[in-house]
Amino acid sequence: MSLSVTDNQSPFNERYASLLTAVHMATTGKHFLPARLGQSPATPALSQVDFKFMQYILNAIRGALIGMAELVPGISGGTVALIVGIYERAVHNANDLISGRFKRVEWSFLVSVAVGMFIAVFAMSTVLSNFVENHVSASGALFLGMVAVSIFVPLSMLSKQERLRPSSIIAFVIATIAIFFITGFTSEPHENPSLIVVFFAAAIAVCALILPGISGSLILLTMGLYQPIIGAVSDRDLGTIAVFALGALCGLAAFIKVLNFLLDHHRAPTLMAMAGFMLGSLRALWPWGADQDASSGIIIGMFIIGTLIVSAFIFIDLKKARAIDERTAQK
């Protein structure tokens, strides 16, 4: 005895086909036209308009995940973009946009991702701002765990031989020492930073958006500007937000070309310097000290949670990269 569905137009079949489509696109990011139950595969279950709208929604969700990652020190928006499968596409479109090749830009893709990012940033900024301000030691421990594990990301992009080159070791040591001393002077939050400082901080921090493994929020945190900036977003301070956005655009336009040059000609020292930057910046996140407002048990617990969060992202990223390598080897 076999079960079969003969009513091709039933509401259940319509919903089931739509669900198959949504699940497939959410997990792969690719278009998929499943046949309605009882129909030939040549007949699409949803119209092209439905698919385009669904793709916009999915890209907005991906953008929201990237935006939330950029709010948290230690989690790189670039890494999340890799995980959700849009990193290369986003970088190529950004490069075309900056280079003036507007006809090649996928505007619907960029706009939907950007909308998702902005919604996430404005929706989550208040929560994170309150958390950082009211739980200094707990938030510091959480971010410390996140950043400590994130050091593995740029190191994992290099072979053992590349990591042990004299130029790589020198870049790592210099970056670590330099940032260690810099964070000692700048780790204290600035209550009212000037707009010029906000502009240049944004130009520097936005570089992390296109570089997996480097957190833009961490850069702001080491400059002592994380709380003021996220507070401005939470309070809807449009002046500060506008200056920050302008600085971010200028920094993005300049850094894409600089990054391409460094990674093309000095890849190993560049990635090792980034790892050194993160190691040296741990000084700014140290949760114990005179201002400690939580017990050591809570601090250790938050540190462990932070390491587990970023470890999960790294595990997914490595698993995805391994799958891509396997598919490439089979071709």
pLDDT in tens, 156-180: 878 889 999 999 999 999 988 987 8
Model pTM score? 0.60
Residue 192: name the closest of 248, 237, 251 by CA. 237
Q: Which of 48-52, 127-131, 214-218 comes out lowest in average pLDDT?
A: 48-52
Cβ pair 35, 45 in contact under 8 A: yes
Domain boundaries, the chain: 11-46, 125-330
Say what the alpha-carbon torsion angle 187, 305, 217, 312 is, to the nearest 10 degrees.
Answer: 140
Cα separation, 217 vs 206, whole angstroms: 9
Q: In sequence order, which residues have a C-beta less than 8 Å from that of residue 78 and are 6 or more positions away?
A: 87, 208, 209, 210, 211, 212, 213, 214
Q: pLDDT, tens digit, for every residue of 257-268?
A: 777 678 778 889
pLDDT in tens, 60-93: 988 998 888 777 765 667 767 866 778 778 878 8
